[in-house]
Chains A and B, each alone.
Chain A
């Protein structure tokens, strides 16, 4: 399956990645190449095969409902780009 510039634009929006028009053409080509590689999958019959999301057939361990995490706001916000009054700052959110 080949993708074109407009597909790339759509994907870039979904993934929040900026791609210039020139870069979009190049991305479209290289991603089309990758998809051509991946398209080999279509040739194989997988009827009745269950998808395998994990390599081991393991099941989830469940955690006891006990508070284990102390307040580390100061340490965590020391590495934050913009904070005020303990809040992370972002350009105004409009709903």
Chain B
């Protein structure tokens, strides 16, 4: 049963081949049995899941249930869920029970989607390896000594280990696409503003965007249909009709203009990864797409700009965690300053503290122009690179990540090396563009991701290109060794 895609589950539930309760129980059993190995869940919500499944079965029996009714998924623990711990993988929020649902959680509830639990992640989504979680690292189902990527590592590992058919995730600099690449999954980060940020605990507000980790592009399209909505509670959410993302999946790619940026194939890219991307380009050519060399000249500045802007925003976003109204509070504070100092120092991990300090530095008197303001100008140049490229191509193609999954601890001592993990994914967040990653082969038995970047609000086109690739290849059907 856990081999089914979301599309197959939707069909099976509708045909009464199985009930939501059966599917849900099956996944809960697998989580109980296997997640000790992967540590992909922070909280498993078995009781809630079974209640929701029973309610979904009733709706399905009544005959007018929404498409996704009864389908179980997992939520990244960055999304607030009423009555259930929402920790953001931080000691700071270890006891935080959100009094409200994130809009995307609410959207899925309305669709009758069942929540299996809350997945592990890098603390406050700061990391590319899932090693910064207060609840311990997540193991990559493809190689147990390797990281699953981050920050949505728990969501990725859960789907790769077939502990959930799909999971929600969030992407600030590559946090959906890089774990998708490292775990052999399909992952989409929509256009900034396409999905509501209400109830998604903020890391860097102008970069954060919720999205999906799934096995196929078709599943991502089905799930995005219900995740995306206009939400008046998020000022940055765009008031724009949500199209049916499954409508164009089967469109021919004949004439699709694919741009390949030369900057994405430079130093630092694993040659085997590069080869698999070259092979993927040939697949696209065989599907009728035309390939064009494009230039994104400011690519090398994306990581530097990001590591000013994201820490600056996070340094302010995380000031609310002060031990006063919720979250961790130190024992017996001797005065107000002690309350702040100890609550925050005990509650936050090392990487979170580092980014808060970098952010404070970039915004501090005397450095604002050199760092923050400069980074925001460079951000415009980076966006303009894409705008120029999309004058002549429809989709931009390249690697998702420089190399396959790496071993635990290999980059934790060197933050800069870790930051370069996101060298190909960060620019799309800075520009606000949609991007997705799909599997395109294995290197040393570890998955490699192919990244597609689309124009603003061209999620449908991206999903079409990804789906067509998956119709022509079977990389996405490969499972991690040992996952039956």
Q: In their complex, do chains A and B touch, with some C-beta pair under 8 Å?
A: yes
**Counting CB contacts under 8 A, is B46 at the interface?**
no
**Counting CB contacts under 8 A, is A67 at the interface?**
no
* Nearest chain A CB to B124 CB, angstrom units: 14
**Counting CB contacts under 8 A, is A71 at the interface?**
no
Q: Which residues of A contact B360 (CB under 8 A)?
A: 11, 14-15
A38/B307 contact (C-beta < 8 A), A15-B360, A55-B432, A91-B336 known: yes
* Nearest chain B CB to A36 CB, angstrom units: 8
**A52, B193: Cα distance in complex, Å:** 16
Q: Which residues of A contact B4 (CB under 8 A)?
A: none
A91/B334 contact (C-beta < 8 A), A61-B232, A79-B97 known: yes
**A58, B339: Cα distance in complex, Å:** 39
In contact, A56 and B456 (Cβ under 8 angstroms): yes
Q: Which residues of A contact B337 (CB under 8 A)?
A: 16
* Nearest chain A CB to B239 CB, angstrom units: 7
Among A34, A78, A82, A90, contact of B354 (Cβ-Cβ < 8 Å): A34
Q: Which residue of B lies closest to A77 (CB)?
A: B325
- Could you mark each residue 218-241 of chain B with 1 if its beta carbon is under 8 Å from any beta carbon of chain A, else 0? 000000000000001001101100
Q: Which residue of A lies closest to B372 (CB)?
A: A51
Give how many B residues have a beta carbon under 8 Å from the other chain's beta carbons.
75
**A44, B335: Cα distance in complex, Å:** 46
A37/B336 contact (C-beta < 8 A), A11-B364, A49-B377, A72-B99 known: no
Q: Which residues of B contact A6 (CB under 8 A)?
A: none
**A92, B348: Cα distance in complex, Å:** 24
Q: Which residues of A contact B329 (CB under 8 A)?
A: 81-82
In contact, B99 and A76 (Cβ under 8 angstroms): yes
**A78, B96: Cα distance in complex, Å:** 10
**Counting CB contacts under 8 A, is B340 at the interface?**
yes
In contact, A55 and B431 (Cβ under 8 angstroms): yes
In contact, B357 and A55 (Cβ under 8 angstroms): no
Residues of B within 8 A of A (CB): 95-97, 99, 192-193, 206-207, 232, 235-236, 238-239, 298, 300-301, 303-305, 307-308, 315, 319, 322-327, 329, 333-342, 344-345, 348, 353-354, 356-358, 360-362, 364, 367, 370-371, 373-381, 383, 414-416, 419, 429-433, 456
Q: Which residues of A contact B232 (CB under 8 A)?
A: 61, 63
A-B contact pairs, 15 of them (CB 8 A): A16-B322, A17-B344, A34-B358, A35-B358, A37-B416, A38-B307, A39-B304, A40-B300, A61-B232, A79-B96, A88-B324, A88-B325, A91-B335, A91-B338, A93-B336
Taking A55-B193, A81-B324 as known contacts, 11 extra A-B pairs with beta carbons closer than 8 A to each other, sorted by chain A number, are A8-B357, A19-B345, A34-B307, A41-B371, A41-B375, A46-B378, A49-B381, A51-B379, A55-B430, A56-B192, A91-B335
In contact, B325 and A56 (Cβ under 8 angstroms): no
Band of interface residues on A: 35 or more
Q: Which residues of A contact B305 (CB under 8 A)?
A: 41
* Nearest chain A CB to B314 CB, angstrom units: 11
Q: Which of A11, A15, A50, A78 has the most chain B CB atoms inside 10 A of its CB?
A: A15
Among B235, B319, B370, B419, contact of A61 (Cβ-Cβ < 8 Å): B235
In contact, A3 and B324 (Cβ under 8 angstroms): no
Residues of A within 8 A of B (CB): 1, 3, 7-8, 11-12, 14-19, 27, 30-31, 33-42, 44, 46, 49-56, 58, 60-61, 63, 72, 75-76, 78-82, 88, 90-93
* Nearest chain A CB to B36 CB, angstrom units: 29
Q: Which residues of A contact B99 (CB under 8 A)?
A: 72, 75-76, 78-79
Q: Which residues of B contact A52 (CB under 8 A)?
A: 376-377, 379-380, 383
In contact, B345 and A18 (Cβ under 8 angstroms): yes
Among B341, B380, B415, contact of A50 (Cβ-Cβ < 8 Å): B380
**A80, B329: Cα distance in complex, Å:** 9
**A53, B313: Cα distance in complex, Å:** 10
Q: Which of A40, A52, A81, A88 has the most chain B CB atoms inside 10 A of its CB?
A: A52
Q: Which residues of A contact B304 (CB under 8 A)?
A: 37-41
**A12, B380: Cα distance in complex, Å:** 31
**A60, B234: Cα distance in complex, Å:** 10
* Nearest chain A CB to B296 CB, angstrom units: 14
* Nearest chain B CB to A42 CB, angstrom units: 7
Q: Which residue of B lies closest to A28 (CB)?
A: B357
